[in-house]
Amino acid sequence: MLDIYYVNNIEQLKVFSDTLRIRILRELNNEPKTSKMLSVLLELSPSKVNYHLTELERVGLAYVAKTELKNGILQKFYSPIAKKISLDKIDELINTDSESDNSNELRESIKDIVTNSLSITSNLVQNLEVVHDNFVHLAQNIQLPNDKLVILENKLNEIYQFVKEHHDTSLDAKNAHINLTYIPPKGE
């Protein structure tokens, strides 16, 4: 398994933009699992999980890590292609001057990913038992002059780089959730 894999085409992005598939990849991160094992963990039908695994495998985001014969049935154990799947390198595909079908498909896939991400954040907030003092939330429309917008964008990129550089999957690292979305003014 790779440490990091960069989504690099439209098909991968479309498949990755589904919340359930992201959940499946997260469940596979610790150890290879069969569709049956995943269906129990995710409380879904095996056929539904198998469909999504097939899609992840088709675009190269998951693979059959091993097989076992059990009671005459060949079981496939799936793993993600990497410990971390990143969207960092698709920006050159999205931020083109072209209005081609591919560019439009990429933009729609990004919208799906952001919408799914916001849904995950919403579910996490709904399940919070206590809102702690260090809980931070900011959601508002803002009006800033262009020079201040540039400063804001730079600061948001600094946060993004910090999180990216310091992401740690070791056992002593603490799990937190961040959802950072900035929608620039129209025409940018």
Domains of the chain by start residue, with CATH: 1-133 (1.10.10.10)
Euclidean distance between CA atoms 95 and 132, whole angstroms: 38
pLDDT > 90: what percent of the chain? 31
Lookup: tokens for 110? 């990004």
Output the pLDDT for position 115: 79
Express each pLDDT in 12-55 by its tens digit: 888 888 889 988 998 998 899 999 999 999 999 999 999 999 99
Output the pLDDT for position 92: 61
Output the pLDDT for position 139: 80
The closest alpha carbon to 106, from 81, 87, 86, 84, belongs to 87
User: DSSP letter string over 101-151?
Assistant: HHHHHHHHHHHHHHHHHHHHHHHHHHT-S---TT-----------HHHHHH
Overall pTM surpassing 0.85 (yes/no): no
